A and B are shown apart, each in its own frame.
Chain A
């Protein structure tokens, strides 16, 4: 019996190896894709281009503008001469935010009154607009607190001009707060779901389109032998890709890695096995290659991107989204990857995640094996 399984593994391996272009693409494409994203993908909202229209032209209004440009969040592009110019700058996306300082800005503030600043934000990228307006509010609030402390001290209401409450922000695990440290391992999670599943999804359906599936139908092999035999070479191929991606992360991009490669590799093996299983299950239930590919793209890829916690931490999601994320293997792998890479957590911490991945794998293989029916004629 194992000899039949071995024969299928051998046959499938040969099929992969004898198409060198395909083999090269299967290894090179994930690496190129990761490299491109890692080089240029900027998730953090920093250095937003901003412009001012300063009608006050006072030392205080200048201090106010410095409060923006001194923060790492904004980058001064220009000081406009008219509100129309600001509008044009926003419309042409030269700046993403603009601030109008009124003529009575310093007079009112020095008198302890309220001054009105107008803020324009480009809403084309809503999440960025939201973050930008959050930063502006923070800068405004801190500017006011500083002025208030000064004002109260000048009037003799308080002894010092200290702001009563300050915030000391510290970042754990990724102290330099580099997005690459969280982004690049995240890309690996997505790649190791997507490519293995995509390639495996074509395996059976290709034989269906070519008609060679009938050779399998009328051979004495058992269903489980077919599915597992087809899975093994693709798991192997994906492990090679995993090793290369990991090397790329560490040696080329110098991503912070404080954990154990052994833990990561075990987690990757389970995850890849599940990914290939998903692909094979899709292959069992579709009848054309194009349909199988689209199911991987839309049914597997999109939810993995949205709900795995790659972009939004799962802890911050709404209950319904958090519920969905529990049915997505990438959620578990991403937690492990971040835990191993940045926090150095070990086996003990991931027993639950590892078991869950194993359960996912068991279920998809069961579905693929039961769904694969040998039909006559």
Chain B
């Protein structure tokens, strides 16, 4: 029986490896695509493009403007006319406009209160909120400087007033490197997508060509055919993940591996088993590749969406949090970040591993049963 299964596995393996463009894309997916995701900085709100409309044009306003700097702000131009305000937001040149009132200098020199106006492009909702907070911090700090100056002018011996000294400690990713997060997440997404896609595609192709029926008359039992369909994908995904660690994640991004790689790859194997089983189930339900890929998106998209990586669990509504319990990717992401970044051991991740194992068993059994039914029917 083992020889027979071995032969079938070899055949499936050859079918994937033989497809040169496919192999090229697979290697690309696990190297270049992960590299570009890590580089992407897709979600950071940094270097917000800013234009300044300075109506005061005095030393005070220049001093204030000098605080609008990298990494939060990038001044792209200074405006001369009021009409340019709208234009600079309309044409996407700037995401925010800072307007300094004409009497800014007088208010600062005297005892008044100056109002700085900030206009943000609400079409970019997130940068808008965040940049208003950054400017609020800058103007508060500037206010403290002004107060100190006023106190000195009034004859205070020590001008410094109350202050807060922030000791910031960021857990798990001290430098808040988004490359670690984005690149590792992309790897996990690739494992998910490729396992589903390649397995489903191979089975659908056999259905389209009618070669599946040929396997029926062979002496192989359904479970052997089933395993032969998924084991090559599991092996390919594991090898490519290892490649991704060796070529991209560690050398290019300096991703720290704080936990055990043996643990990581064992659970990854379990997870890929679950995903490939799901791939078989999708292929059985679809009549052709186009149907299969649409079905896959229908399943894949909520899975990624509910995984907690795009949307932290606390901003999900209760029904979404409930649904996320049946997304294997949720446990896998939690597990992978735990092992790699937090250095957690198996005993600390027992819930995640159990989640993957249980969902994996369910998927495996259901899809094996429908596979057997399908073979018997034909």
Contact = CB atoms under 8 A, between A and B. Distances in A.
B197 A22 contact: no
Interface in B22-54: 22, 25-26, 28-29, 33, 36-37, 40-49
A181 interface: yes
Contact of B162 (A43, A109, A142): A109
Contact of A339 (B25, B86, B90, B122): B90
B293 A202 contact: yes
B64 A117 contact: no
Counting chain A residues whose Cβ lies within 8 A of the other chain, the interface size class is: 35 or more
Interface stretch (A6-14, A268-276, A309-317): A309-317
Contacts, number: 411
B294 A26 contact: yes
A49 B162 CA distance: 28
B311 interface: yes
A299 B118 CA distance: 39
Given A179-B126, A290-B22, A127 B45 contact: yes
A124 B181 contact: yes
Contacts of A224: none
Nearest to B154: A157
Contacts of A167: 115-118, 132, 135-136, 139
Interface string B124-157: 1111111011111111111110111011001010
A288 interface: yes
A327 to B, nearest CB: 14
B42 to A, nearest CB: 5
Interface of B: 19, 21-22, 25-26, 28-29, 33, 36-37, 40-49, 64, 72, 74, 76, 86, 89-95, 107-108, 111-130, 132-144, 146-148, 150-151, 154, 156, 160-174, 176-178, 180-181, 193-194, 197-198, 201-202, 205, 208-209, 287-291, 293-295, 297-298, 301-302, 305, 309-317, 320, 337, 341
Interface of A: 19, 21-22, 25-26, 29, 32-33, 36-37, 40-49, 73, 90-91, 93, 96, 108-131, 133-138, 140-145, 147-149, 151-152, 155-160, 162-175, 177-179, 181-183, 198-199, 202, 206, 209-210, 286-291, 293-295, 297-299, 302-303, 305-307, 311-318, 321, 335, 338-339, 341-343, 345, 349
Q: Sorted from nearest, which 9 A-B pairs have the closest CB atoms?
A: A174-B122, A123-B173, A290-B201, A315-B49, A141-B140, A138-B137, A25-B294, A157-B151, A145-B140
